[in-house]
Amino acid sequence: MAAFDLSAALASPQRWLVTGAAGFIGSHLVEQLLAAGQRVVGLDNFVTGKRANLDDAVAKAGQGARERFSFVEGDITSLETCQRVCAGVDFVLHQAALGSVPRSIKDPLASHRANVDGFVNMLVASRDAKVKRFVYASSSSVYGDDPTLPKQEARTGRVLSPYAATKHVNEVYAQVFERTYALQTVGLRYFNVFGPRQDPNGPYAAVIPRWMALLFAGQPCDLNGDGSTSRDFCFVLNAVQANLRAALAPGEDVSDCVYNVAVGDKTSLSELYQLIRERVAKTVPAVKSLEPRRQPFRPGDIKDSQADISRARQHLGYAPTHTVAQGLELTVVPPGGVP
């Protein structure tokens, strides 16, 4: 698969559907696809996505992007909406979901409606529209309490939250639709994706944008646990590459499978805090010595996470282009700054 040329595969314009298009990862997919000359349909209900993300993505995609982009405001919990946006589509990149472990613990029914009922609607609509391949966002949370590092796709433990349960169910349904209806499906287990446009606000904000916003405001950050908790933080353009390769990689052995999407390394929360603080201090020198406030370990979270990305390398030709440090250089910018 090393010979798979993604740029050449994108040379022929095709029609793509991106669900969750106004979200963090979805808007980057829209931007990169439009920049590559593709035709894109976006779907979002704006529960967590933002119109500003779409406006920014289309503007950055270059000349002619707006003419090749159409958007539908709607919800994947409506089968009719899913069928409407799938009509005439070649590839589906399904990112729409209610994320966050704590959110799912607080409201498991909402997570199930969006992440399971909505997911099955998208599978049915994609099957009926005869799309070439259905690529969907899974999560490293499916590894649950399995202590093995690095995480390999074939070995998982008991899931620890309703959110993780929904992502596990997604993988089961996708594989059933492949085997029952011959719908090609590819699951991508994201490991802590970060980058520009990630929302720093709200109780369920991801740690990197939340810490950035607080430090740029000169305020202390909360750190859950003793700081040794580690994650395989993955810059968003790595995740974009994985999606495009998962959709376009030739060969029948690519689908009916899940792949880790990460860098293949781990960074502790203490190390991550220092990396972010160091970059913010260039603009706000006062935070250079600001220490985080220690909080209890968060229920439903795993202690350590690191991915084995060899399967994605072998089958998709995936190769991360950005390390954590390189990704943070493009992410940690002052409010209103240009990444």
DSSP 8-state secondary structure symbol assigned to residue 132: S
* Host H or E run for residue 331: helix 324-331
pLDDT in tens, 125-172: 999 999 999 999 999 999 999 999 999 999 999 999 999 999 999 999
Model confidence pLDDT, tens digit, residues 55-71: 999 999 999 999 999 99
What pLDDT is attached to residue 303?
Answer: 82
Rounded mean pLDDT of the chain? 94
Report how far residue 166's alpha carbon sits from residue 229's, in angstroms, rounded to the nearest whole number. Answer: 24
Is 318 assigned a catalytic role?
A: no
For the segment 303-331, what is each residue's pLDDT rounded down to a tens digit? 888 999 999 999 999 999 999 999 999 99
Share of the chain above pLDDT 70, in %: 97
Predicted local distance difference test score (pLDDT) of residue 278:
96
List all residues 6 or more positions away from 218 whose beta carbon is below 8 Å from its beta carbon. Answer: 284, 286, 287, 290
Amino acid at 241: Q
Give the separation between CA 313 and CA 238, rounded to whole angstroms.
Answer: 12
Q: What is the mean pLDDT of residues 186-199?
A: 95
One-letter amino acid at 46 equals F
Cα–Cα dist 214/180, whole Å:
49
pLDDT tens track for 216-266: 999 999 998 899 999 999 999 999 999 999 999 998 789 999 999 999 999
**What CA–CA distance (Å, rounded) separates 167 from 101?**
11
Are 95 and 23 in contact by the 8 Å Cβ rule? The answer is yes
Active-site choice (136, 163, 259, 318): 163
pLDDT exceeds 60 at position 2: no
Domains and CATH numbers, the chain: 14-190+236-262+304-319 (3.40.50.720)
